Structure 1
Amino acid sequence: MAEKQTAGRDRLGDLAPQFAALNDDVLFGEVWAREEQLSARDRSMITIAALFSAGLYPQLKSHLALGKAHGITKEEAVEIVTQLAFYCGWPKAWSTFPMIDEIWGDDEA
């Protein structure tokens, strides 16, 4: 099961409370909880691909960490980025590999 997220309320609750509620309750609450339709691991892979393609690195880093929590291995993360580099841009891969190394470190899994 996907971990309950509170990032919206934690980071934007005072500034944009409705956006924060939608982020936490709808996106990470209802959508990510639909694991019978698509696992949290698969949702993480799709989200990583979308954020990578858009070059949204702060969110990408957060979702790489979430992907690790959802069972994506370091080897799989590297393979995802290698595949995407050909479709979305080589420099984006260069920007993402250090994030993978930081998040997974020496972990094999």
Structure 2
Amino acid sequence: MNKIILFLSIGFFITNAMSQEKIVQTAGRTQLGEFAPKFAELNDDVLFGEVWSRTDKLGLRDRSLVTVTSLISQGITDNSLVFHLQSAKKNGVTRTEIAEIITHIGFYAGWP
């Protein structure tokens, strides 16, 4: 499963569409399109194309905070976490905030 998450983390791009940011994802189709075309479509079009793009409901910074917290809570510390930490930084999350997230969730999600 971690390898799939890594594949899905590659090819994540943010483009500006009017006042709402539109997420364009191609990694699912690029990496898994022939093997699991429906999964690739859902990843690219639904998760990133629709859910991550709902910035009028929850901004990219907050989505990054939730995603990083979720990955760490599940013990996922592979390249997908690295990718999402880099994305969080691009979305305005500071190093100090990431350190505080790790400190805080250590008590709720267990020590990594």
TM-score of Structure 1 vs Structure 2, range by shorter chain: 0.7 to 0.9
Alignment of 1:7-18 (within 5 A): 7-18=27-38
1:80 corresponds to which letter in structure 2?
I
Deviations 1:27-49 (A, max 9, x none): 00101111111001101111111
Percent identity at matched positions? 51
More helix, by proportion: 1
* 2:49 aligns with one of 23, 26, 29: 29
Structure 2 gap segments, 5+ residues each: 1-20
Q: CA RMSD in A?
A: 1.5
SS, match of residue 24 in structure 2? coil
Alignment of 1:1-109 (within 5 A): 1=21, 3-58=23-78, 59-90=80-111, 92=112
Taking structure 1 as the reference length, the TM-score comes to: 0.74
**Cα offset, 1:2, TM superposition:** 5.3
Moved over 6 A (4+): none
- How many residues align? The count is 91
Deviations 1:8-56 (A, max 9, x none): 1222122211111110110001011111110011011111111111112
Taking structure 2 as the reference length, the TM-score comes to: 0.72
**Cα offset, 1:71, TM superposition:** 1.4
More strand, by proportion: 2
Structure 1 gap segments, 5+ residues each: 93-109
Deviations 1:76-95 (A, max 9, x none): 111111111111122x1xxx
SS, match of residue 25 in structure 2? coil
